[in-house]
Amino acid sequence: MNIGIKAIEYYLPQKILSNSDLAEAFPGWTEEKIFNKTGIVNRHVANDEEYVSDLAYCAAKKLFENHSIEPKDIDFVILFTQSPDYNVPTTACILQDRLEIPKSAGAFDINLGCSAFIYGLAVAKSLINTNIAKNILLITSETYSKYIDPKEKSVVTIFGDGAAATLISCNEVSQIKEFDLGTDGSGAEQLIVPSSGIRSKGTGKVTQDDNLYMNGPEIFNFTIDVVPKSIDNVLKKNNLTFNDIDFFVFHQANGYMLNHLRKKCNIPEDKFFINMIDTGNTVSSTIPIALCLAEKEGRIKRGDTILLVGFGVGLSWGSTIIVW
């Protein structure tokens, strides 16, 4: 039996921030210009009473209902988020109770963003391989909008909120293969919310340090450097060649970066996925959402070999190959 992805579902908040809204807020930026730079038309953003656990709950309930999954069968919950409901307690524990998952299930949060889904697959596979768990609910959920200054167009035009829920277990067809994972913490300050933890508690007043900061050029240079190398590494680790891959799904960072990466890596357009028009960059959830959309569009099918790459905040990256 293989360890693989059995099902994925995602949830997006109802509130929408459109290019029309942004063009009105930023004179000189047209809807067309925003789309050409980002590949995005609409972003879903959480409302004031909506938090990571709410989005995660909705994604998990959708997974359970659409795939006839019983909460009692889940024996581990892993939540990846960088905007948890609380720093204490762990949001995964709140979800275990809210989703009526047995108290015998393990649950924890992991703080990781753009590469989170790849790391999540690695952790889930390891837990199953070591007989710690059999059916793992992997959730990625993010509300970056709560960190964003609405006047900062470099980030407000890119990021959207959302959650995805993935069931990982043993099965006959789908498979999670070997990984290439990496970290460069020297770039931590290139994508950061300075006052988001104990180190900078602040005065209680909202300051610039409460907002998300992104050094776009540095993130771009980092990505262009590490992604091609990670692809080469993960192919070697799996004893596969470029031609063995049926489809490529990268972290949906922004349209410009993805198109540049596709060309740099010599990936044919028909094997490469870009669709963030109505989601924006949902950070940890972009890859599972992209997999759902790619299947819906008929671009991937059962048994396809797919190369996944996540990259960004940390700085961190990860690649793996799955059989769908």
Q: Is 251 a catalytic residue?
A: yes
Helix ranges (H only) for the chain are 19-25, 31-38, 52-66, 91-98, 116-129, 153-156, 216-237, 255-264, 286-296
Q: Which residues pair with 320 in a beta bridge?
A: 179, 308
CB atoms within 10 A of CB 287: 28
Angle subtended at Cα 282 by Cα 218 and Cα 202, rounded to the nearest 5 degrees: 65
Q: Which residue among the candidates 135, 211, 254, 281 is catalytic per the annotation?
A: 281
The token pair that represents 43 in the structure block: 């972003």
Q: Is 243 a catalytic residue?
A: no
Q: Which residue among the candidates 58, 251, 254, 265 is catalytic per the annotation?
A: 251
Q: Distance between CA atoms of 185 and 315, rounded to whole angstroms?
A: 6
Amino acid identity of residue 160, one-letter, is: G
The token pair that represents 256 in the structure block: 């410009």
Q: Is 292 a catalytic residue?
A: no
CA atoms within 13 A on the CB side of 270: 1
Give the three-class secondary structure for 209. helix
Alpha-carbon distances, residue 149 vs 21, 54, 88, 240, 319 (angstroms) = 15, 22, 25, 44, 31
Amino acid identity of residue 36, one-letter, is: N
Q: Which residue among the candidates 44, 114, 135, 211 is catalytic per the annotation?
A: 114
Q: Which residues are catalytic?
A: 114, 251, 281
